[in-house]
Amino acid sequence: MGKDKELHFNTYENAAEWFDTHDMSDYKDRMAPVDFHFDLRKNRDWIELDSEIAKNIRKFAKEKNVPTRRLVNELLKERLRNLQQSS
C-alpha cells in the first residue's frame, strides 16, 4: 500500500501487519485528531504477549488463513490439555 492510497483494512490482523511494517511518522501530514472511547474489559480477557510471539502468531495465522484469536485459543487449549494429561 503506497503513501498515496487511503488506509483501509478488512481485518484487525491486516491492520496489525501493516502497522508492524510502517512508520506512522511518515504519514503525519495525513492524520487528523480523533476522539474515541472503548472498553477493553467488555467480554474479553486481554493478555500482553511478547512482540516477537505476537508477530509469529499473526504470520502463522495468515499462512493457515485463520483469525489470529482462533489460532491462539486453539494453541492454548491444546497446551492446557497436554498439561492436564501429564499431571
For the segment 18-32, the average pLDDT, to the nearest whole number, is: 85
Would you say the pTM of this structure is higher than 0.85?
no
SS3 55: helix
User: Is 57 buried (19+), middle (13-18) or exposed (0-12) by CB count in 10 A?
Assistant: middle
Residue 48 CA, chain-centre distance (Å), reads 11
pLDDT single digits (tens) 51-63:
999 999 999 999 9
